[in-house]
Structure 1
Amino acid sequence: MRSNPRVRRSSSHSGRRSRRAVRAAAAAVVAGALALTACGGDGDKGKGDDDGKGAQNGGAGSVALPELDGATLEVAAVWTGAEQANFKKVLAEFEKRTGAKVTFVPAQDPIINFLGSKIAGGAPPDVALLPQVGAVKQAVDKGWAKPVGPDAQAQLTKNYAQGWQDLGKVGGKQYAVYYKAANKSLVWYNAKVFENAGAKEPGTWKEFLATARTVYDSGVTPVSVGGADGWTLTDWFENVYLSQAGPEKYDRLARHEIKWTDPSVKDALTTLAQLWGDKNLVAGGPDGALQTEFPASVTQTFTGGDQPKAGMVFEGDFVGVNIAETKAKIGTDAKVFPFPAVGDKAPVVSGGDAAVVLKDSKAAQALLTFLASPDAATIQAKLGGYLSPNKNVADSAYPNAVQRAIAKALIAAGDDFRFDMSDQAPQAFGGTPGKGEWKDLQDFLKNPKDVAGAQAKLEADAAAAYKG
């Protein structure tokens, strides 16, 4: 899952979600984390769940889809590896039900640039999955995105909280279906490493640093940071900032109503420097972290027996896909706790990927309808490493207690939540590799002592992007 900002205020006003959600979702995540720690592994299925939800293969409760024999579709997304492979299984089910032929088109970040080149060449994909709120608005502003049809809208109304529907609106009109969500406020850890070190799950930032040092004393480097992918660093910042500065300032910074030279940003960067500036706590030190891509940051935490390269890794629920590649079992070998509270409350930051139609057709709208249904989400939920904002996906669809707890926390947030800050910013600032916030935070990871310099760079890049 990528994190990209958007400067302009979108019609969804996602940056202005109430504080109520942060508290409710945080409480749900904490409760879920406590419950899942005591649970078993992948075979633990929730009892009492309605397996009829998300029925597949045209059974009772399945979404009605048209016959599309002979129709062809191209679907573009930035997903790779297991995430891409699992989504292809969803597309295969759509093919089976409709007779259409669907081709997955691998895209690159920033996806708006990728789509722009495709459109300029006269060969846009029919549907694209956009990983930023801002990208949806940009696609609409450019005249690329087509409105959601009535069948897909009916599925949205039935299956989604209003807040998730609103995120896909521009100018009050529905243009997108949020097929994939993310809880981006989680720290995953190697259970054996914690057991050997005598370490406990922390609840506060101070406790987190103490736990990291306990793990270090046991002979394992505590924290893996995927610094080669700048979007992971924006997620670190957002969690610290939301918890430390609070929801109001988070919303204002997301809209650039507060400058990045504000003292609240200084405080958050100073807090991050307590971790990033200690080479003993970060796998490979800052230089090593900057050469570590996100997938490797996960896999190196769960390979190597009880002597992995790191004991913990921060990122969203989608980490499960990468953990699965290591053969570690979620809930037993790999456990999770909520991002520690830096201020009064633990942060809960959400993200997501939205499906938009670029070439309007019966087949493209049918795919959007399918993606808005519990049927599609249930298929991918069962494969792991995926979280749906669709409230009618059965808990039992998720393959283990950990992922069920995370999914319940997301749904419990209802209409109110804090969306990824960088996803709300202009792409030039929060969504482009090697530029803007991604690059500025990579530079800060390399030199965490230069808080003032990082603030100055962030503000200069933000001002230019928001003005543009």
Structure 2
Amino acid sequence: MRSTSSTLRTRKSPSRLTASPTRRRAARAAAAAVAGALALSLTACGSDDDKSDGDPPKSGDATAAAVTLPRLDGESLEVSAVWTGAEQANFKKVLAEFEKRTGAEVTFVPAQDPIINFLGSKIAGGQPPDVALLPQPGAIKQAVERGWAKPLGADALEELGENYSQGWQDIGKVDGKQYGVYYKAANKSLIWYNAQVFENAGASEPKTWDELITTARTVYDSGVTPFSVGGADGWTLTDWFENVYLSQAGPEKYDQLARHEIKWTDPSVKEALTTLAEVWGEKDYLAGGPDGALQTEFPASVTQTFTGGDQPKAGMVYEGDFVQVNIGETEAEIGTDAKVFPFPAVGDTAPVVSGGDAAVILQDSKAAQALATFLASPDAAAVQAKLGGYLSPNRNVPESAYPNEVQRKMAKALLAAGDSFRFDMSDQAPQAFGGTPGKGEWKALQDFLKNPKDVAGAQRKLEADAAAAYGD
């Protein structure tokens, strides 16, 4: 997963989207009744009236006691992450708060994807950052195996135990030892839509995959292309697949595929790809068609959905809560012009897929440990929460820290999943398979978007690349 990248889509005859395979119809009908167990109502909210001050907790606040940090006057730190744009700017405000509280000087060092390669070159040159934000559990494991990552100290562990569920702690561990603080999370089971387009078309929010197909046709018939897809960034396509696969195949199969305990040639993968082809195979349902989608980066996939009045390039765009950052670059108002619904249930239940970025210490020092402790606290998360486009897995961040009702409900949904959420599958894989542009799963799904009839070919390519990356 990435929360800062890009992509999009176009239109055609909706013939194949008029009906779903009979073998899935009964399961999907049942899903309509149970999808509400995981799907929160995320619409009609987010106007200016919903905004709160969202000030971070301060010492003496009734909601939270400020985390205790040492004085670090004269100390300096470098922090590296792949974040760009507003995401980077907002995180720098968190670092500025750390500087204010400790007296340390913190420099943000922009990283390139894949971050493991970037860190490798920095370490080889004798200039590693003190702390890095790693977007994949697989990257944390690689950093540990290469001897780069340092375990968290007692203060950071105490803060983690106080503020995080066991599930969020566990994905930051390697061989039972804690290395990562999941500072940033994502609810990646959301579809955003242009409210005016839906109103003009008479479309309603779908709760099941069949209803999503019906909604897409309704939007198409109104004269607007249904979907914008950021196919130039392969990670958006892995997120599509993961939501379909988790809901359709179930969590046990999801975990097995994530660990490569079953092959990508498994029938469950075939079924998920066949389902995806019900959308990806309708070129007129994608803004720009498959070729246009493959040239569209993630930010553009969002902005073109919410510009152009009631005739945008597309009516819907799939991606996580961080879409808000890019909507903010348009004139659309979240909760009024731009609304959101949970990813529809494909099987018995709607999916809850999450991602995130973990702070990992690369140079062990009092200052680096203090920063990790700060990032594990509600204080740090509350600073960025009020700026929008951000969710924290920290259960002690007050809801009032989020700037609008849409954001508060998404945060609540993430925490309500408890330990039943599933982490982004591609982020659990070795980076060579699940996190490298132009290679592995990203490239295989881009090829599948271009030719969604070749399910078997996509499976063979995915399995070959996975076997090589996992060392099977």
TM > 0.5 between the two?
yes
Cα pair 2:228 2:293 within 8 Å, conserved: yes
Aligned equivalent of 1:41, options 14, 26, 47: 47
Cα pair 2:79 2:130 within 8 Å, conserved: yes
Aligned equivalent of 1:113, options 111, 117, 132: 117
The equivalent of 1:2 in structure 2 is 2
Distance 1:153-1:465 versus aligned 2 partners, 3 A rule? same
In the TM superposition, residue 277 of structure 1 has moved relative to its aligned partner by 1.1
Q: Which moved more, 1:324-333 or 1:270-279?
A: 324-333
User: Match for 1:351: what amino acid?
Assistant: G
In the TM superposition, residue 140 of structure 1 has moved relative to its aligned partner by 0.7
Aligned equivalent of 1:226, options 199, 223, 230: 230
In 1: Cα distance, 2:382 partner to 2:415 partner:
15
Q: Which runs of 5+ in 2 are unaligned?
A: 4-31
The equivalent of 2:57 in structure 1 is 55
Query: Could you list the per-position Cα deviations for residues 74-120 of structure 1 after superposition, in whole angstroms to 9, with x for gaps in the alignment?
Result: 11001111111110111111111111111111111111011000000
Aligned equivalent of 2:406, options 385, 402, 410: 402
Cα pair 2:35 2:207 within 8 Å, conserved: no
Q: Which moved more, 1:407-416 or 1:452-461?
A: 407-416
Q: How does 1:151-190 map to 2 (within 5 A)?
A: 151-190=155-194
Q: Does 1:69 align with 2:73?
A: yes
Cα pair 1:287 1:446 within 8 Å, conserved: yes
In the TM superposition, residue 396 of structure 1 has moved relative to its aligned partner by 0.9
Cα pair 1:28 1:408 within 8 Å, conserved: no
Query: Could you list the per-position Cα deviations for residues 260-286 of structure 1 after superposition, in whole angstroms to 9, with x for gaps in the alignment?
Result: 111111111111111111111110000
- After superposing on structure 2, the runs of 4+ consecutive aligned residues of structure 1 that deviate more than 3 Å are 25-29, 56-60
In 2: Cα distance, 1:289 partner to 1:208 partner:
19
Aligned equivalent of 2:454, options 450, 454, 459: 450
Cα pair 2:399 2:408 within 8 Å, conserved: yes
Q: How does 1:205-244 map to 2 (within 5 A)?
A: 205-244=209-248
In 1: Cα distance, 2:203 partner to 2:276 partner:
21
The equivalent of 1:125 in structure 2 is 129
In the TM superposition, residue 312 of structure 1 has moved relative to its aligned partner by 0.5
The equivalent of 1:14 in structure 2 is none
Q: Does 1:196 align with 2:203?
A: no
Q: Does 1:145 align with 2:146?
A: no
Query: Could you list the per-position Cα deviations for residues 113-155 of structure 1 after superposition, in whole angstroms to 9, with x for gaps in the alignment?
Result: 1100000000000000000011111111111011111111111
Cα pair 1:197 1:215 within 8 Å, conserved: yes
TM superposition score normalised by structure 2: 0.90
The equivalent of 1:12 in structure 2 is none
User: Match for 2:44: what amino acid?
Assistant: A
User: Match for 1:122: what amino acid?
Assistant: G
Cα pair 1:42 1:399 within 8 Å, conserved: no
In the TM superposition, residue 40 of structure 1 has moved relative to its aligned partner by 4.7
In 1: Cα distance, 2:331 partner to 2:380 partner:
25
Cα pair 2:191 2:316 within 8 Å, conserved: yes
The equivalent of 1:19 in structure 2 is none
The equivalent of 2:432 in structure 1 is 428
In 2: Cα distance, 1:226 partner to 1:37 partner:
23
Cα pair 1:28 1:409 within 8 Å, conserved: no
User: Match for 1:44: what amino acid?
Assistant: D
User: Match for 1:429: what amino acid?
Assistant: F
Query: Could you list the per-position Cα deviations for residues 378-431 of structure 1 after superposition, in whole angstroms to 9, with x for gaps in the alignment?
Result: 011101110000000011111111111111111112233211111111111111
Cα pair 1:147 1:173 within 8 Å, conserved: yes
Q: Secondary structure at the match of 2:203?
A: coil
Cα pair 1:224 1:289 within 8 Å, conserved: yes
In the TM superposition, residue 220 of structure 1 has moved relative to its aligned partner by 1.1
Q: Which moved more, 1:378-387 or 1:408-417?
A: 408-417
The equivalent of 1:6 in structure 2 is none
User: Match for 1:2: what amino acid?
Assistant: R
TM superposition score normalised by structure 1: 0.91
Q: How does 1:7-18 map to 2 (within 5 A)?
A: none
Q: Which runs of 5+ in 1 are unaligned?
A: 4-22
Q: Does 1:261 align with 2:302?
A: no
Query: Could you list the per-position Cα deviations for residues 206-232 of structure 1 after superposition, in whole angstroms to 9, with x for gaps in the alignment?
Result: 111111111111111110000000000
Distance 1:296-1:29 versus aligned 2 partners, 3 A rule? farther
